[in-house]
Structure 1
């Protein structure tokens, strides 16, 4: 029994490695024989050298962006969850607030970034607020949909037994909405770094976005690619960690088998 399970796990781990190797191979071929100048497309070897030689810049920049992302993620999930629960408990709140939430997503984040930097300064606050704005809607929408789609039979049974409204929320609606909420959190985790980096592009003194912007002005394309790879690795690692935590917390959900 352990043999097939271990084989399946090995295949799961091997697939992304093969895909990554193929992409790097195509990248190397384009850089070597595609006729693209190095300042437009550096080779994987040049980017690897930049990762090592510029590690003194990349490491603190990564920590700054990670801190902004985590703070934005925590605050965004908390605020989005509170609003979704509030709208589920009081219908008029949804009618008044939901249009404003949709409006916040209709405005491009690049248009909001300069205003946030102006209001909150060049420090970490403006980047955290940007990350919160980016992830606020997915969390609010996912949890709100989960709360509204509770099994009607469960609700009828709770009313028949005279359960208080807050007990219905805590013991029925919230547990039933957890899978939808988990989907929203996964999506928020994947896009949270976007808000932080966009804020750093507009105005910052540190972070991966700031480092990429500085490297761009100096035509250090290899450093730009190195910072981008660090950002991608950080985002994937953060998403994987959150996904593992959610999978363990929702072990009773279909599709969370060990080999998935």
Structure 2
């Protein structure tokens, strides 16, 4: 009997849950009773945490997945449960930490792989680097997954294109990598079946692309006008939105293919958006 204890059981973890065999138990944490009720409806044993006593869940967990975002004080799971996790270290077969390709920082559009230095340009990336180090120091069978921009059912660009709020911000040389949530799930499942403690994996598709190209393709699929181009230097943007353009890089994903045998379902944004629209899950 396998039990996955998923801290911050959100979008990516829910996709993994759909791949797990029926004999797996999934315990998921969330911060509200309303979300806990939705997890229960999806076949997840919910815990409202922080608050709930997590010791019984840790006692039966064979696998851990950490999706919760770090804060200024570090990783929230380790803030509350470091000792409890350490005392059970020998009982975990696999531990997965969901990080971000933002840990690499800006590379002016060049390629990066898992051996690139961690030089984040944003506060979010800096917190992730700190959290990765905290988890590495625990001596667990840890696997780090550095996720590119996530899209999938309910998280595509189509709604913004339809309602006229999509923007094509043009910054010379800007490229992003991205990944479909179903490919994240299959990478996690492949790692569970081929554990390699200490490994880090980039999780992204094969086609880093300028963000304006994605919006233009979505508009074409919908037979709607392509939003007008806006120059990054003069466009009105919130500081948060502008910070996403502070880094430009193309992320290599060879390791998930070579080590884990993953064949991407959606190797580029075009195949991913085509499938979302065809399934009516955009």
Structure 1-normalised TM-score?
A: 0.26
Greater relative contact order (Cα < 8 A, sep 6+)? 1
Please state which structure has a larger fraction of its residues in helix.
Answer: 1
- Give the structure with higher Rg (CA): 1
Structure 2-normalised TM-score?
A: 0.25
